[in-house]
Amino acid sequence: MNTLKDITRPVFPFTAIVGQEEMKLALILNVIDPKIGGVMIMGDRGTGKSTTIRAIADLLPQIEVVEDDLFNSHTSDYEVMSDYVKKKVEDGDQISTEFINVPMIDLPLGATEDRVCGTIDIEKALNEGIKTFEPGLLAKANRGILYVDEVNLLDDHLVDILLDSAASGWNTVEREGISVRHPARFVLVGSGNPEEGELRPQLLDRFGMHAEIRTVKEPSLRVKIVEQRSKFDSNPYACIKEFQLKQEELKSKILSAQQRLAQVNIDYELRVKISEVCGALDVDGLRGDIVTNRAARAFAAYQQEDNVTIHHIRQVIILCLRHRLRKDPLETIDSGVKVEQVVSQVFQ
């Protein structure tokens, strides 16, 4: 008999989502290569941002983790392994593993720093000499996806912590001279509505990609989206079954892209062109160059190709650069269009 714990809430199939190609591509590429640095999704209310993000997590193949480990530790990769598991591996101890769904962690808007980073029980440490760590959301999100809705309303200090952990892959908690460090490698996905305020430029720049989504204007497409949603709401399991084959195809495509990624090559001439575009757009720092290179390689792997071409770069470069341009209040042209113009000149 199924207990309440076993009954999972049905998730809208990723392949059933109509339109919003930019957001879907950005999420897929970050899943193929988490080092791209996450996605910031800005767009109107009610455009399916949350639905799409939950759907991508549901689509991913299960991961193997060390059993009863608080940090979803990997069994052989030191980068995503807690110190306790590392010690067991080095001592040659037997490690039992289990397969779990890719963690999808929602960060609530009112979350405190302790809730995000975790806490150290000082009393226990001082009285009993035991270092007791109560893991936070960053620990739970290791090797998964951390989703922050309305990221532009989140306290800047917390956004800083999230971005630091996402970039370094580690979270360190220090209290009264006691320090605990654990792996926290996750895909950071933030979403927001531009009407509710922008993110500070230096925080925006830390997101690998920036997808913009607009409400669909075409009546026939709108009808299709509404029908799809109604169909799912009235009978979710039938809808999931209908898209099962497409889901499996996409799942295996992502898996083979993850495996192929290491051997994808990007020519020196193309790397120079990418940097030329960044220079012409006056992009501060080198993050834009690095992310565009990574995203182009991930896209080539997704297309099952071993060499990056101009086509791959053109598909991803706007997503990687549009949020890194300096804001000019008198500028009337959209930043995406500006990137497109420079790309056209450089890649003639």
Q: Is there a contact between 35 and 28 (Cβ–Cβ < 8 Å)? A: no
pLDDT above 80 for 291? yes
Domain that holds residue 170: 21-60+101-220
178: how many CB neighbours lie within 10 A of its CB?
A: 15
| pLDDT for 329 | 58
pLDDT above 80 for 336? no
* Residue 287 among the catalytic residues: yes
Reported confidence tier of residue 327, pLDDT bands at 50, 70, 90: confident
Do residue 202 and residue 56 come from a single domain?
yes
Cα dist. 274→122, 302, 303 in Å?
Answer: 50, 20, 20
| pTM of the predicted model as reported, rounded to 2 decimal places | 0.86
Do residue 286 and residue 154 come from a single domain?
no
Q: Is there a contact between 207 and 37 (Cβ–Cβ < 8 Å)? A: yes
Gyration radius (Cα) of the chain, Å: 21
Do residue 197 and residue 270 come from a single domain?
no
Does 65 reside within a domain? no
Q: Is there a contact between 326 and 284 (Cβ–Cβ < 8 Å)? A: yes
Chain Cα centroid distance, residue 151? 13
Do residue 42 and residue 153 come from a single domain?
yes
d(CA 150, CA 41): 10
Do residue 210 and residue 277 come from a single domain?
no
Do residue 34 and residue 107 come from a single domain?
yes
Return mean pLDDT, the chain. Answer: 84
Give the mean pLDDT of 212-241. Answer: 85
Do residue 298 and residue 195 come from a single domain?
no
SS3 177: coil
- CATH number of the domain at 175, please: 3.40.50.300
What residues contact 308, with CB distance under 8 A and at least 6 apart? 264, 265, 266, 267, 270, 296, 297, 299, 300
Do residue 292 and residue 207 come from a single domain?
no
Does 123 reside within a domain? yes
Does 304 reside within a domain? yes
- Catalytically annotated residue among 185, 206, 260, 287: 287
The number of distinct structural domains making up the chain is 2
What confidence tens digit (pLDDT) does each residue in 132-147 have? 788 889 989 988 899 9
User: Which structure tokens are listed for 162?
Assistant: 């999230």
Does 317 reside within a domain? yes
What confidence tens digit (pLDDT) does each residue in 54-112 have? 888 888 888 888 888 888 888 887 778 887 888 888 887 888 888 888 888 888 888 88
Do residue 184 and residue 271 come from a single domain?
no
User: Which structure tokens are listed for 79?
Assistant: 């980068």
pLDDT above 90 for 301? yes
| pLDDT for 3 | 45
d(CA 33, CA 296): 11
Do residue 108 and residue 183 come from a single domain?
yes
Chain Cα centroid distance, residue 50? 13
